[in-house]
Amino acid sequence: MAKAPDLFDAGEPSSKGYTAKDIEVLEGLEPVRRRPGMYIGGTDERALHHLAAEILDNAMDEAVAGHANRIEMELAPGDILTIRDNGRGIPIDPHPKFKNKSALEVIMTTLHAGGKFGGKVYDTSGGLHGVGASVVNALSEWMEVDVARDKHAHKMRFERGHAAGKLKDLGAVNRRGTIVSFKPDFQIFGKDTHFSPAQLYRMARSKAYLFRGVEIRWKCDPSLIKGETPAEDVLKFPGGLLDFLRSEVVGNSTVTSREFSGRTENRDGKGAVEWAVTWTPMIDPFVHSYCNTIPTSQGGTHEQGLRNALTKALRSHGERTNNKKTALVTADDVMAACCAVLSVFIREPEFQGQTKDKLSSPDAQRLVENVTRDHFDHWLAENPQEADKLFEFVVEQAEDRLKKRQEKETARKSATRKLRLPGKLADCTRDAAAGTEIFLVEGDSAGGSAKQARDRATQAILPLRGKILNVASAAAGKLQQNQELADLVQALGCGTGAKYRSDDLRYDRVIIMTDADVDGAHIASLLLTFFYREMPRLIAEGHLFLAMPPLYRMTQGSKTEYARDDAHREQLLKTVFKGSSKVDVGRFKGLGEMMPAQLKETTMKPGNRTLVRVDIGEDEREDTEDLVERLMGKKPELRFQYIQENAQFATNVDV
């Protein structure tokens, strides 16, 4: 039997083409030019703007350290970007390790060279790895750095990462700081990738918000601007992150009238935190987070700390006020409509990758959670009305989440089985929805009469047991558990809320047919509230109707008429039943008392019946919402107020 080949069996040497000379050692900034994605995340427009962020972050580190209070950013034609600061200036004296090079040249041409490793020069900084400025230099067609220290200026030029000459002495000057000008290399980024003035302006503005002690001056050549970006602007925001948040949510109503904001100083070396939070359902939620002024677009541990603090404090408030729905609230509900800006300053932060999109420092989570939890507890205690309003809003988010999950589970179950209609539904035989009707009737008695009186081809009957749930005041969980409403939704087949689908509605008309008395009117009101809150498009598309069954049967000899109400009865007595002959007037106690033939003739037969289509005019929407909330909502005091205001207009009260 032949021996199976072994991987390590001697054979023809296969390594002839792979020797020591094939091993490349990349020196200086060559690794950056060969693999730019490792350092700036790619070579697209986002990566291009990362170059600007690296230089701007260095200037911001000087400002945060207290050595600069002004930064200038200027964009010129040809994608030439200049960033100036009035900080200490990059050192230009010879480097101890590289005697023939200035510190400036070492910083700009050597990876992992910088003044932010030991923590002596900068207490907190955005730069960590000593690669930011050198990476920008490596990926630029050219870069010029002008440094003014001790009232003396020097300048040096670089081309594609290499020094293009010696450090030049510019003589005495009456200024200080660093000026960096560079032009990104089209060999790296391509000829179609350019700086966006709007994006650079937003970057500068966000930095000004993050550190209220700095003034950033923006300037851009007008020929480069598209849209509303200003050609020149001075950015300084004494209000810090609160100003930032207000600029982001301006024009949108918020759940609370006051924002939750604050800041702590870095007194004990553990770090500083600043935050501004509000809640609004009008726009998509967001959390803009920063660490040492570096934007962390993918969040991280500091965002998790804020999330934990807000959730724990709100749940604690719910427990203090004995709110039974506290257990429903999760962090997702708290953050569902939350708009927040968060900034932390910590020593030696840990990021995921050189682009620093996500903070991974465990200490940041503990710092943010402890600080903001304590302040939020006080904020809730000092503003009880605002706290209750916010908690009620968060509970609504929780109920909505549970409702959507239930609908999703129902939809998933429905997809695996054939359509199953409620057992008590007497469906019509026509398959198409056009021309069909479903009558919603109260009780099995009325349902029995209606089933006998209907046109089987086009009319379906769904009996409902008693008074259905008031959806305007009930929790989402109760809505899902209510069998009568579940049967109704299943019979209509079109879903509710955001899941409503017009094409899946199984009937052309949905007709509410209740007794012509107070109880019947109450049931009709509950059904109208359900459709208004859960299926508003069904109303808007003209599918909802009210049947008008008679309240009286009037007979005089062989003549029979039906009256809808007391006023109609009096009208018939004066017009149809003239003369001295006695008129027998019988009052129907309910639809179940009517003979099927009578019900068909008066209420269900097209051509004879009276239907009222439910419609909400464009100018009536606000008043309708207010009326539904007052009469059917969760607050009994609003109903009591409405009764007080309108009691004088009530007549023929049925008590």
* Helix segments in 128-170, DSSP class H: 132-138
Report the alpha-carbon distance of residue 249 to residue 259 in Å, rounded.
11
Per-residue tokens: 352: 């995921």
Percent of the chain having pLDDT more than 90? 43
pLDDT digits (tens, 9 = 90+) for 79-107: 999 999 999 999 988 877 777 888 898 88
pLDDT at 418 (0 to 100): 45
Q: What angle do CA 475, 510, 470 make, to 5 degrees?
A: 20
Q: What CATH number should be reported for the domain holding residue 75? A: 3.30.565.10
58-76 tens-digit pLDDT: 999 888 888 999 999 999 9
**In a domain? residue 9:** no
Asked if 143 and 157 count as a contact pair (C-beta separation under 8 A), the reply is yes
Q: How far is CA 404 from CA 270, 284, 399, 476, 503, in A?
A: 42, 18, 9, 9, 20
Instruction: Tell me which of 372, 402, 432 is where a domain ends.
Output: 402
Taking 3-state DSSP, the helix, strand and coil percentages for the chain, each rounded to the nearest 5, stand at 40, 20, 40
- Per-residue pLDDT, 450: 87
Mean pLDDT score, 537-552:
90
At residue 127, the pLDDT reads 43
Decide if 24 is inside a domain: no
What average pLDDT score do residues 175-203 get? 94
Is 643 contained in some domain?
A: no
Kindly report the backbone phi and psi dihedral angles of residue 570, in degrees, each rounded to the nearest multiple of 5, phi listed first.
-65, -35
Range with the lowest mean pLDDT among 26-30, 79-83, 562-566? 26-30
Q: Are strands 437-442 and 338-345 parallel, antiparallel or unpaired?
A: unpaired
pLDDT at 227: 86
Q: Residue 41: which pLDDT band, with cuts at 50, 70 and 90?
A: confident
Residues 459 and 360 in one domain: no
Q: Are residues 363 and 427 in the same domain?
A: no
Q: Beta-carbon neighbour count of residue 14 at 10 Å?
A: 7
Taking the C-alpha atoms of residue 450 and residue 461, their distance in angstroms, rounded to an integer, is 7
How deeply is 337 buried, as exposed, middle or buried, from its count of CB atoms within 10 A (0-12, 13-18, 19+)?
Answer: buried
Task: Mark which of 235, 254, 283 sits at the end of a domain.
Answer: 235
Based on the fold, state whether residues 228 and 96 are members of the same structural domain: yes
What pLDDT is recorded for position 128? 39
Question: What would the pLDDT profile of 501-525 be if each residue is shown by its tens digit?
Answer: 888 899 999 999 988 777 888 888 8
Share of the chain above pLDDT 70, in %: 88
The more confidently predicted of residues 629 and 435 is 435
pLDDT of residue 13: 55
More confident residue, 173 or 402: 173
pLDDT of residue 217: 96
Q: Which residue has better confidence, 635 or 220?
A: 220
- Residue 156 DSSP label: E
pLDDT at 267: 67
Number of domains in the chain: 4
Residues spanned by the domain of 477 = 419-549+594-615
Residues with a known catalytic role? 442, 515, 517, 519
Instruction: Report residue 122's pLDDT band, with 50, 70 and 90 as the boundaries.
Output: very low
293 and 355 part of one domain = yes
d(CA 480, CA 408): 12
3 state SS of 611: strand
311 and 433, same domain (yes or no):
no
Q: What is the pLDDT of residue 593?
A: 75
* pLDDT on residue 172: 93
Q: Which alpha helices (DSSP H) does 80-196 contain, by range?
A: 103-109, 132-138, 186-189
CB 147 within 8 A of CB 153: yes
Is the residue at 253 inside a domain?
yes
Report yes or no on 625 lying in a domain. Answer: no
Q: Which residue has the higher pLDDT, 14 or 379?
A: 379
Q: Is residue 517 part of a domain?
A: yes
Q: Which residues contact 66 (CB under 8 A, 6 or more apart)?
A: 213
Question: How big is the chain, counted in residues?
Answer: 655
DSSP 45-67: HHHHHHHHHHHHHHHHHHHHTTS
Q: Are residues 86 and 227 in the same domain?
A: yes
| Residue 436 pLDDT > 90 | yes
| Average pLDDT, rounded, for the chain | 85
Distance between CA atoms of 19 and 251, rounded to whole angstroms? 67
Q: Which CATH number goes with the domain that contains 261?
A: 3.30.230.10
Q: What is the pLDDT of residue 411?
A: 52
Enter the tokens of residue 461.
């009957």
Please state, in angstroms and rounded to a whole number, the distance separating the CA atoms of residues 242 and 352: 28
pLDDT at 123 over 70: no
Please give the average per-residue pLDDT across 142-151, as a whole number. Answer: 94
The answer to whether residue 407 is domain-embedded is no
Q: Which residue has the higher pLDDT, 121 or 262?
A: 262
Q: CA 512, CA 392: separation in Å to the nearest integer?
A: 33
Same domain, residue pair 251 and 218? no
Quick check: 15 pLDDT over 60?
Answer: no
Closest-CA residue to 446 (of 523, 554, 544, 506): 523
Q: Would you state the pLDDT for residue 219?
A: 96
Residues 185 and 326 in one domain: no
SS3 category, 98: coil
- Identify the pLDDT of residue 24: 60
CB 551 within 8 A of CB 587: yes
The DSSP code for 17 is: T
Asked whether the predicted pLDDT for residue 405 surpasses 80, the reply is no
pTM score, two decimals? 0.58
- 505 versus 3: the higher-pLDDT residue is 505
**CATH number of the domain where residue 431 is located:** 3.40.50.670
The pLDDT of residue 644 is 78
Instruction: Give phi and psi for 217, each to the nearest 5.
Output: -105, 125
**Of 78-92, 302-316, 464-478, 564-578, minimum mean pLDDT range:** 464-478
Query: Is the residue at 2 inside a domain?
Result: no
Which residues, at least 6 apart from 88, have a Cβ–Cβ distance to it below 8 Å?
Answer: 62, 67, 68, 149, 176, 177
Clarify whether residues 598 and 581 are in a common domain: no
pLDDT at residue 26, as a whole number: 58
For the cut 90, the answer to whether the pLDDT of residue 367 exceeds it is: yes
**Bridge-based pairing state of the strands 140-149 and 80-85:** unpaired
Looking at the fold, whether 215 and 257 belong to one and the same domain comes out as no
Q: Are residues 313 and 253 in the same domain?
A: yes
Q: State how far the Cα of 458 lies from the Cα of 430, in Å rounded to an integer.
A: 6
Q: Both 509 and 573 in a single domain?
A: no
Q: Rounded to 5 degrees, what are φ and ψ at 291?
A: -130, 120
Res. 125: pLDDT tops 70 = no
pLDDT band at 202 (very low <50, low <70, confident <90, very high): very high
Per-residue CA distances from 22 to 26, 360, 403, 478 (Å): 12, 38, 63, 72
Place of tokens 């033939």: 597
Of the three residues 339, 370, 402, the one that is the final residue of a domain is: 402
Residue 97's pLDDT is: 78
Residue 323 CB neighbours (<10 A) = 17
Whether 1 shows a pLDDT value over 80: the answer reads no
- Report how far apart, in Å, the C-alpha atoms of 462 and of each of 422, 439, 453, 475, 619 are: 9, 6, 13, 25, 33
Q: Does residue 416 carry a pLDDT above 60? A: no
